[in-house]
């Protein structure tokens, strides 16, 4: 028996599974948790050999190990460096951890107390964690995007294969180094300060937001990249994972597209200039030739009628009708000349031309059209090309009001402030439909946008159902053409 029965009381009240065996390996005491762990009834393990609690393949070797321990008993963990398994009554095996402690019985007999822990759940968790790590490593290493993991000080912890290809470093070369080696100056010198500022204030500039930045390869070459950074905590340890994508090709494509668009706009502007020159030429020719001829025809007819009247003869009805037709033809020619290129635009400037055109719209269509030129705008003298652009935009806007808006009135306003001329055309019609604004085949609207954009202008068209449409052109006075 054990001295003072105190060990018996401790074992019975312990939560951990505990066994006591004598030098021959006979179990002399097993507490309830041990009996439950191995599926034995109370007292059933007493007197049995300890080896029955081990898988058969370990039993013979355990006898020798037990004898060696009895010769030099000391407290220690059993099976250090290798996996241990217990065996339930049913024969089912499960992983365990065992610690041994030598004891003395009442008669001085050396005993051994074994404390046993079932580590099945821990092993399952470890296996799941290992599987998860394998999967994550596979994803990490096969990801198309470069992935870099750093700690709160900016020290590189992980560096996947895509990152190795992108930056030209191996993971071994960058592990333990500051991530700033992947950045050119001045970003390299600023990075640690940014991390410290974020840790102190929580102010995010890239983390969870993402942005375009510049990266630097091992050979010193730089490239544009998209960087998205996620923050995570491993226990108390703050970590950051950066997803990096080389956008050199995209930036090159964007630049090529920008240049192409710029060239197209310059071409479009050139075509508009050619068209305006041709309109002006045709208008001049019509005025000088056709207009003069029609005026001459009317004059001859009028003289013939006048002679007949003076001679006391009735005016020839055909001549009277011809005179009327000549009048109508002259009016038509004047309208065509005006539509092609109003002379007032060249003679008096864009503001007088807009006032004149608003009057023409009112006379022709019956639409109440008013033009208000603020003194701040009236003092601005736009050059020939800008004047033409502003006039054509307003002309197209008013044409759309007459044709599509179903409006009763329209107002043209012009103001100037802070180096920007603002011209607004507003009506009280049905309001332009969003579908029409998005229609890229609406050449009138497209022309308005392209004309204004060539001169650095900003054109906004908005419509409210049942309340009308508003066209606003904002034209900076100091912007170079074609930008």
368-381 as b/e: b if 16+ CB within 10 A: ebebebbeebeebe
SS3 286: helix
Given the structure tokens 């096969």, which residue do they identify? Answer: 142
Cα 88 from Cα 40, distance rounded (Å): 8
Cα 322 from Cα 328, distance rounded (Å): 10
Give me the pLDDT at residue 437, please.
61
409-417 and 368-373: which strand pairing? parallel
Cα 159 from Cα 242, distance rounded (Å): 10
pLDDT digit of tens for each residue in the chain (483 aa)? Answer: 444 456 666 667 778 899 988 888 899 989 999 999 999 999 999 999 999 999 999 888 888 888 887 777 776 666 555 678 999 999 999 999 998 888 876 666 788 888 999 999 988 888 888 887 777 777 777 778 899 999 988 899 989 999 999 999 999 999 999 999 999 988 888 887 888 877 787 777 777 677 889 999 999 999 999 998 888 887 788 888 889 999 999 989 888 888 877 777 777 766 777 777 777 788 777 777 787 888 888 888 888 888 888 888 887 888 888 888 888 888 888 778 777 777 778 788 889 989 998 998 898 888 999 999 999 999 888 888 888 889 989 988 998 899 888 899 999 999 998 889 999 999 998 888 766 665 554 556 777 777 788 888 888 988 888 889 999 999 998 754 544
Query: In whole angstroms, how far apart are CA 194 and each of 154, 190, 199, 227, 306?
Result: 10, 6, 9, 15, 95
Give me the pLDDT at residue 1, please.
44
Q: Where are the beta strands (DSSP E) in 247-361?
A: none
DSSP, res 403:
I
CB 160 within 8 A of CB 146: yes
Q: Which CATH number fits domain 134-246: 3.20.20.150, 3.30.470.10, 3.30.450.20, 3.40.50.1360?
A: 3.30.450.20
CB 354 within 8 A of CB 373: yes
What string of DSSP letters covers 410-462?
EEEEEEEETTEEEEEEEE-SS---HHHHH-TT-HHHHHHHHHHHHTT-EEEEE
CATH superfamily for 3-118 is PAS domain (3.30.450.20)
Domain ranges of the chain: 3-118, 134-246, 258-341, 343-483
Kindly list the strands in the beta sheet with 458-464, ordered across the sheet, starting from the edge strand earlier in the chain: 368-373, 409-417, 420-427, 468-476, 458-464
Give me the pLDDT at residue 80, please.
58
Structure tokens at 408: 């009763």
Is CATH 3.30.565.10 the right assignment for the domain spanning 343-483?
Answer: yes
SS3 142: helix
Residue 349 Rama label (left phi>0; alpha psi -120 to 50; beta): left
Judge whether 3-118 and 134-246 match in fold. Answer: yes
Give me the pLDDT at residue 90, please.
93
Query: In whole angstroms, how far apart are CA 285 and each of 279, 334, 341, 390?
Result: 10, 12, 12, 25
Give me the pLDDT at residue 82, please.
67
Give me the pLDDT at residue 409, please.
92
């Amino acid at each position: 028996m054990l001295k003072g029965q105190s060990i018996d009381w401790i074992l019975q009240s312990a939560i951990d599974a505990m066994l006591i065996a004598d030098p021959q390996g006979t179990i002399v005491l097993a507490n309830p948790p041990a009996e439950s762990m191995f599926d034995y009834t109370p007292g059933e393990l007493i007197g049995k050999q300890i080896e029955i609690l081990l898988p058969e393949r370990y039993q013979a070797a355990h006898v020798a190990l037990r004898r060696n321990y009895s010769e030099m008993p000391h407290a220690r963990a059993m099976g250090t460096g290798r996996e241990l398994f217990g065996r339930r009554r049913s024969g089912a095996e499960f992983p365990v951890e065992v610690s041994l402690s030598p004891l003395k019985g009442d008669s001085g007999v050396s005993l051994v107390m074994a404390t046993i822990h079932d580590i099945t759940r821990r092993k399952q968790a470890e296996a799941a964690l290992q599987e998860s790590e394998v999967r994550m490593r596979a994803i990490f290493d096969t990801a198309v995007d470069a992935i870099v993991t750093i700690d709160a000080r900016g020290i590189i912890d992980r560096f996947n294969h895509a990152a190795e290809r992108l930056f030209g470093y191996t993971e071994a070369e960058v592990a333990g180094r500051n991530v700033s080696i992947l950045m050119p100056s001045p970003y390299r010198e600023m990075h640690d300060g940014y991390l410290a500022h974020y840790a102190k204030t929580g102010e995010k500039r890239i983390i969870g937001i993402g942005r375009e930045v510049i990266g630097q390869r091992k050979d010193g070459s730089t490239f544009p990249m998209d960087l998205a950074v996620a923050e995570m905590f491993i226990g108390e340890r703050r970590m950051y994972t950066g997803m990096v994508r080389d956008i050199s090709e995209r930036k090159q494509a964007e630049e090529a597209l920008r240049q192409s668009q710029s060239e197209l706009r310059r071409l479009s502007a050139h075509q508009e200039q050619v068209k305006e020159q041709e309109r002006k030429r045709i208008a001049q020719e019509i005025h000088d030739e056709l207009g003069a001829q029609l005026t001459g025809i009317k004059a001859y007819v009028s003289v013939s009628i006048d002679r007949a009247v003076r001679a006391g003869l009735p005016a020839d009805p055909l001549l009277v009708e011809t005179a009327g037709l000549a009048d109508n033809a002259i009016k038509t020619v004047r309208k065509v000349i005006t539509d092609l290129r109003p002379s007032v635009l060249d003679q008096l400037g864009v503001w007088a031309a807009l006032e004149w055109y608003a009057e023409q719209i009112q006379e022709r269509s019956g639409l109440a059209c008013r033009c208000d030129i603020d003194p701040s705008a009236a003092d601005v003298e736009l050059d020939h090309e800008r004047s033409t652009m502003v006039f054509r935009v307003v002309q197209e806007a008013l044409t759309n009001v007459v044709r599509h808006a179903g409006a009763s009135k329209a107002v043209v306003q012009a103001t100037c402030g802070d180096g920007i001329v603002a011209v607004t055309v507003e009506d009280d019609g049905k309001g332009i439909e969003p579908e029409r604004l998005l229609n890229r085949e609406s050449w009138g609207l497209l022309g308005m946008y392209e004309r204004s954009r060539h001169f650095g202008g900003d054109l906004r068209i908005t419509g409210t159902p049942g309340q009308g449409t508003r066209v606003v052109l904002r034209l900076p006075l100091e912007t170079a053409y074609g930008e």
